[in-house]
A = this chain, B = another copy of it.
Amino acid sequence: MQPLANIAPLKPAGAIEVRNVGQVFKTTTQDVVALDNVSLDVKPGRFVVLVGPSGCGKSTLLMMMAGLRQQTSGTITISGAPIPEPDPNRVGVVFQEASLFPWLTAEENVEFPLALRGISKNDRRARAQEALKLVGLDGFGKRHPHELSGGMKQRVSIARGLVQDPPVLLMDEPFAALDEQTRMTMGDELLRIWAATGKTVVFVTHSLTEAVYLADEVIVMSPRPGRIVDHLQVPLPRPRTYEMLSGDAFGSLRDRIWRHIRKSA
């Protein structure tokens, strides 16, 4: 009866739209403008990397996309709808700090989001095992967080983010505490999963090499107040290889970002 509804342009799952978003924190001493008039469009299935100097508002932006914090002004839509509340069916988050539950084992931490959805014990365990294997923590499932090294905790946290399989994945410096080799392996793993599932990924990192290596698009931010200063497309072909790292195209993209960062830090 209402064919128009079907004709109207339908925002596909995974699109992110950020429109004139601002965020002001009230602190005891003064008001802090963390983000100022940020606009951004991420098409479904894109791998977008967010870079910018410490304190420029990357984490804040991610929290807003996840529905964990409300913007002071502007609008954000995920898959066509605003996100006033976190919605694990639309968005998954890997936090900057591992924030594991100390009373659960690594395994149980990874199972946590599945348990919330009432998935059966066996299923949960199997999927958690798989995710832990993916991050190289085979055999560490029974350990509690305080028995893990810093990098291991971060990897558990990544596994926890991956296991829930949402269309949009927000990752806040997930590889910061990892050594270069693990970091590369995990980056490749992530790209593989991304390519296979068609997820939209927003990824924060401080490593420019990592940024260019992983991204379809790199968004560069400047601090105080947080603004987008550049938005580059990375035209390198997929799958990415380590050889590309030493290529000219790669170098010039990296340099361009580097100049922004240097200026604003």
A180 with B152, Cβ < 8 A, contacts A27-B143, A142-B28, A143-B27 known: no
CB neighbours of A207 from chain B (8 A): 180
Question: Is there a chain B Cβ closer than 8 Å to A206's Cβ?
Answer: yes
User: How far does the alpha carbon of A99 sit from the alpha carbon of B66 in the complex, in Å?
Assistant: 26
A243 within 8 A of B: no
Once the chains bind, are B149 and A177 in contact (CB under 8 Å)?
no
| Distance from A14 Cβ to chain B, minimum over Cβ atoms (Å) | 26
Q: Are A173 and B150 in contact (CB under 8 A)?
A: yes
Nearest B residue to A262, CB-CB: B181
Set of chain B residues within 8 Å of A148, measured between Cβ atoms = 55
How large, as a class, is the contact surface on chain A?
35 or more
Q: Which of A191-208 contact B (CB under 8 A)?
A: 206-208
CB distance from A138 to the nearest CB of B (A): 12
Interface residues of A in 167-181 (CB under 8 A from B): 172-173, 176-181
User: A25 within 8 Å of B by Cβ?
Assistant: yes
A183 within 8 A of B: yes
Q: Which residue on chain B has the smallest CB distance to residue A211? A: B180
Q: How far is the CB of A252 from chain B (nearest CB, A)?
A: 15
- Which residues on the B side are within 8 Å of A75 (C-beta)? none
Q: A29 to chain B: which residues have CB within 8 Å?
A: 142-143
Question: Could you tell me if B150 and A96 are in contact, using CB atoms closer than 8 angstroms?
Answer: yes
Q: Is the interface of A mostly helix, strand, loop or mixed?
A: loop
**A249 at the A/B interface (Cβ < 8 Å)?**
no
Contact yes or no, B206 A179, CB < 8 A: yes
Q: Is the CB of B179 within 8 A of A261?
A: yes
- Which of B150, B181, B206, B262 is in CB contact (< 8 Å) with A97? B150
Tell me whether A86 is interfacial, beta carbon within 8 Å.
no
> Using a CB–CB distance below 8 Å, which chain A residues touch chain B?
25, 27-29, 32, 51-55, 57, 59, 96-97, 142-144, 147-152, 155, 172-173, 176-183, 185, 206-208, 258, 261-262, 265
30 examples of A-B residue contacts, CB within 8 angstroms? A27-B147, A29-B142, A29-B143, A32-B147, A52-B179, A53-B179, A53-B181, A54-B150, A54-B152, A54-B155, A54-B177, A55-B149, A55-B151, A55-B152, A57-B149, A59-B150, A96-B150, A96-B177, A150-B173, A173-B177, A176-B176, A179-B206, A179-B265, A180-B206, A180-B207, A180-B208, A180-B258, A181-B258, A181-B261, A185-B265
